Amino acid sequence: MVEKSYLVQRFAKLSLGLHHVIGYSVAGEETVVQIPELNVCFDIGRCPHFALTSDYLCISHGHMDHLAGLPYYLSQRYFQGMKPGTVFLPAELERPVDQLLRCWRDVERQGTPYKLIPMRPGQLYEIRRDFGIRAVATHHGGPSLGYVLINIREKLKADYAGIPGPELVAMKKRGIEIQYRLEVPMVAYLGDTTLGPVFDEPDVQNAEILLTEVTFFDADHRTKAKLGRHMHLEQFVQLAPKLKNKEIVLIHVTRRTGIGRARRALLKRLGEERMKNIHILMDFENAREEGAVEDAGPPPGDTAE
Ligand SMILES: [Zn+2]
Ligand SMILES: [Zn+2]
């Protein structure tokens, strides 16, 4: 048992299959989740050092605990000679966030570059031929989106299996469609959301890793969950049977409940078998590499302050 300290911020690091999930998420305080292998960070409540290394940043909604680190992320990357960050965000937020960043340019007297990509539900943005980010509508009151990281593959149609390579190339040249497109959802991140149609999206149900919130657990927090459009344990219990994800990571647990009690409540309602692939991001008792991720950031720039 590590002693609690408010001087050192501890980050979580989960190793799940091919990917790591690094981050910190406490309701109302800060949410930031990084998938280093995919060069993507989701939300940036504050900007811990490790978040600077992600070239792509997906913002779920405008609440301060998910967004306030954005100007710092962009400014630090510029300071340190990294390329401008690319920021995906709900289309409704493009204008106000752009204004915010322009203000920061004046305040800081630095021409920090940035690239905002406004997203709408269902839209797929292809970063590379084999990798894209799809936005899904979430349910949190204002404009809010979740994001699915998609591996895009070209597969040979079954009809053409067994045909030698050179022949296939020749067929392709003649304009025959020998391939089909396969999209594999690797990671789905939903930010803040209550129960709703987003959980019927095939990408969300089938993503290898699903990151979703469960903020409230106690019976007398049901009203809070409803008002804030957050997920309550009762709703997650309803939802759990239809999730086919290999791994599920729960984020945004309120400090009012605490991780230990949240874990025990989940176990009691879902049972040991179902809990085998459900993790709580901030459950440090089960995270093996927690705390060691600050080294993962870029070297400090000598002019940076
Ligand atoms: Zn939040
Ligand atoms: Zn929120």
Q: How far, in Å, from the CA of 252 to the mean position of ligand 1?
A: 7
pLDDT tens-digit readout, 83-134: 999 999 999 999 999 999 999 999 999 999 999 999 999 999 999 999 999 9
Q: How far, in Å, from the CA of 140 to the mean position of ligand 1?
A: 10
**135 phi and psi, to 5 degrees?**
-90, 140
pLDDT band at 290 (very low <50, low <70, confident <90, very high): very low
- The residue among 8, 54, 288 whose CA lies nearest residue 189 is 54
pLDDT tens-digit readout, 170-223: 999 999 999 999 999 999 999 999 999 999 999 999 999 999 999 999 999 999
Query: How far is CA 52 from each of CA 56, 83, 176, 286, rounded to the nearest angstrom?
Result: 10, 11, 44, 26
Q: How far, in Å, from the CA of 203 to the mean position of ligand 2?
A: 22
Q: How far, in Å, from the CA of 27 to the mean position of ligand 1?
A: 5
Looking at all shown ligands, the one closest to residue 32's CA atom is 1
pLDDT tens-digit readout, 9-25: 889 999 999 999 999 99
Looking at all shown ligands, the one closest to residue 229's CA atom is 2
Q: How far, in Å, from the CA of 145 to the mean position of ligand 2?
A: 11
Q: How far, in Å, from the CA of 151 to the mean position of ligand 1?
A: 28
pTM, two decimals, is 0.91
Share of the chain above pLDDT 70, in %: 91
Residue 7 neighbours by CB distance under 10 Å: 4
- What single string gives the DSSP state of each residue in 155-204? EE-GGGTT--HHHHHHHHHTT---EEEEEEEEEEE--S--SSGGGG-HHH
- Judged by DSSP in three states, 103 sits in helix
